[in-house]
Amino acid sequence: MYRNVHPIAEGLIRQCGGRATAGRIGILSVLLSAQQAMTHREIEQCLLETLPLDRVTLYRGLEWLVAQQLIHKVASGDRVWRYHANGKAYSHQHAHFKCTGCSQVICLDDLPLERQWPLPSGYRLQEVELTVKGLCADCS
Amino acid sequence: MYRNVHPIAEGLIRQCGGRATAGRIGILSVLLSAQQAMTHREIEQCLLETLPLDRVTLYRGLEWLVAQQLIHKVASGDRVWRYHANGKAYSHQHAHFKCTGCSQVICLDDLPLERQWPLPSGYRLQEVELTVKGLCADCS
DNA sequence: TTAATTTGCGCAACTTTGTTGCATTTATGT
DNA sequence: ACATAAATGCAACAAAGTTGCGCAAATTAA
Ligand SMILES: [Mn+2]
Ligand SMILES: [Mn+2]
Ligand SMILES: [Zn+2]
Ligand SMILES: [Zn+2]
């Protein structure tokens, strides 16, 4: 249950010097307890009963948490952002897996992105975005 | 000038057994002449003078060309599809480069995606989507 | 060449995802 | 408890893309 992580979430938010509002704590708690990256919609649904937030507030909360580097944002192909808490394992750049069956997105911590990527001359690399698509264990 | 490729575009379309309409020929001609992957908007602008197409027709034309595998679709992070003609070089899976300055997207043919990607057990790979982000030669 | 049939087009309306402006409320330091 | 800065809720907006449907154009048959 994601309520257990409320104190942890609140601590993390205060450490950033931000206001510990119910919204931010709720959002971060959901993401800290989630096994996969979640869409805005999924987070909204998840909070619906305990803490109904306005969609805009949720967008702004997520934006703020990303800016504080407490969570990260995943693009994953469909035109929907997904969000996931930054554990120790996920603080560096990493790849993601997207299941084409159930649409879940998980972080692939093992997949190193620090290798050399050959680019045309004059081109400068900033960031690599890698999404492996396929079927998860449940959908296989 | 993309008008030179009209006969080529028409031939490719007829080879697929599809109707060679002015719209499809125009769209494919633009993409065949383009150096980079283009958004729906960019293609629309490009055709504006010679062949003003309804946005929906353009969407459906692109969809059809993708289904015929005459072009391919690139996700590239912002929530906008980009399209590019399938030359010989681009018929296989390949990575893309997206310039964070000018937003142009080019195909990285040299970057092999056929390596092994370690996945959790039970997970099955279908496709790899790799976008390298950075600055192109002009924007550097 | 014309007529019939099939397929694509244009238009309007709708959906989804996300953003912006502004008045109101709330968290926090004093 | 009060002042103040910051977050929230609401309405409106925006961009990208989709759907339904009547009409037009491309193929095919006559
Ligand atoms: Mn991740
Ligand atoms: Mn490409
Ligand atoms: Zn799955
Ligand atoms: Zn550039």
Per-residue pLDDT of chain B (140 residues; tens, 9 = 90+): 676 899 999 999 999 988 999 999 999 999 999 999 999 999 999 999 999 999 999 999 999 999 999 999 999 888 999 999 997 666 678 899 999 999 999 999 877 777 778 899 999 999 999 999 999 999 98
Q: Is the overall model pTM greater than 0.85, yes or no?
A: yes
Q: Between chains, do A134 and B119 touch, taking CB under 8 Å as contact?
A: yes
Q: Between chains, do A137 and B126 touch, taking CB under 8 Å as contact?
A: no
A51 by Cβ neighbours in 10 Å (0-12 / 13-18 / 19+) ranks as middle
pLDDT exceeds 80 at position A105: yes
Residue B35 touches chain A, beta carbons under 8 Å: no
CA max distance for chain B: 54
One-letter amino acid at A77 equals G
CB A127 within 8 A of CB A93: yes
How close does chain B come to A83, measured CA to CA in Å?
A: 14
Q: Could you tell me where the beta strands, DSSP code E, fall in chain A?
A: 38-39, 71-74, 82-85, 95-99, 105-108, 124-135
What's the confidence (pLDDT) of residue A61? 98
**Cα–Cα distance between B90 and A49 in angstroms, integer?**
49
Q: Which residues of A touch B133 (CB under 8 A)?
A: 125-129
Chain A span 17-36 residues with beta carbon within 7 Å of strand D: 18-19, 21-24
Q: Which residues of B touch A75 (CB under 8 A)?
A: 75, 77
